[in-house]
Amino acid sequence: MSYGPGGLPYNVVGWFASGVLLKSMAIGADVIGTDLYDKNPDKRSFLPAGFPPRPRGERPDIGPHPLPQRQLNQPAPKKIKEMLVREFEKIVRDNQDIIDYRDSVHEGRTKSLFIKKDQPQSAATKMMLGEISHIHGTGDYSVHVVLAPQDCKKVIASGWGQRHPLDGVRASKLVLGWWVPKEYVLVYAPRNEEEVQIVVQIVKAAVGYMTGRYDVK
């Protein structure tokens, strides 16, 4: 509960679900391995060429509970948090023909990018109930996205994020009501303006993957 609200009820029931039930399902999870993406036949990429490595040292520490998935250090400064929210809102304004911005289904207590219901629905879109990406606005300001398999590999291998410890664990649906796909990636909170722009590139790539569009603005 010290991570702040998100994903599960913010009470002892949510703590038990995350700290006991889901944590037991995530034992031994490999959150930075990318071999599975090499085996995926979908070779599309929506990230720009020359995607850079994350600078300035090691990955942040992540809390031991699978939900909510949160950083324990390397926080985003206040002005960077505000900038990130503005950039999310700009993505919605610039792409309002294909996405909208409403309350998150999976995270709760924050808004998320969704594919519009009149757009074609891929298997990934249906699995995620149309949800593309959200900021953890009640916590560390890290970001969850659903990316093309090859973009998952790029983001993880370059140090910008990691997999979810429950990805592919179908038994988690018994607790969550949905199961986490292997394309569901945690992007670390940006620490400065330059990193905000990289996170924006990643979020736009997620919009591209979920909508099948290469012209996301």
Q: How far apart are CA 152 and CA 158, in angstroms?
A: 10
The pLDDT of residue 109 is: 84
Answer yes or no: is pLDDT of 13 > 90.
no
Q: How far apart are CA 149 and CA 46, in angstroms?
A: 10
Q: How far apart are CA 206 and CA 147, in angstroms?
A: 5
Answer yes or no: is pLDDT of 200 > 60.
yes
Provide, rounded to the nearest whole percent, the portion of the chain with pLDDT above 90. Answer: 70
Answer yes or no: is pLDDT of 57 > 50.
yes
Q: Which residue has the higher pLDDT, 57 or 174?
A: 57
Residues contacting 65, CB < 8 A, separation 6+:
3, 18, 19, 22, 23
**pLDDT per position as a tens digit, 116-160:** 999 998 888 998 999 999 999 988 999 999 999 999 999 999 999
Closest Cα partner for 142 from 207, 205, 64, 195?
195
Peptide bond into 68 cis (omega under 30): yes
- Kindly report the number of other CB atoms within 10 A of residue 189's CB atom: 25
Question: pTM of the predicted model, to two decimals?
Answer: 0.88
Identify the band that residue 34 occupies on the pLDDT scale cut at 50, 70 and 90.
very high
Q: How far apart are CA 214 and CA 52, in angstroms?
A: 20
Q: Which residue has the higher pLDDT, 108 or 25?
A: 108
Estimate the crossing angle of helix 78-94 against helix 193-211, to 10 degrees. 30
Q: Which residue has the higher pLDDT, 127 or 174?
A: 127
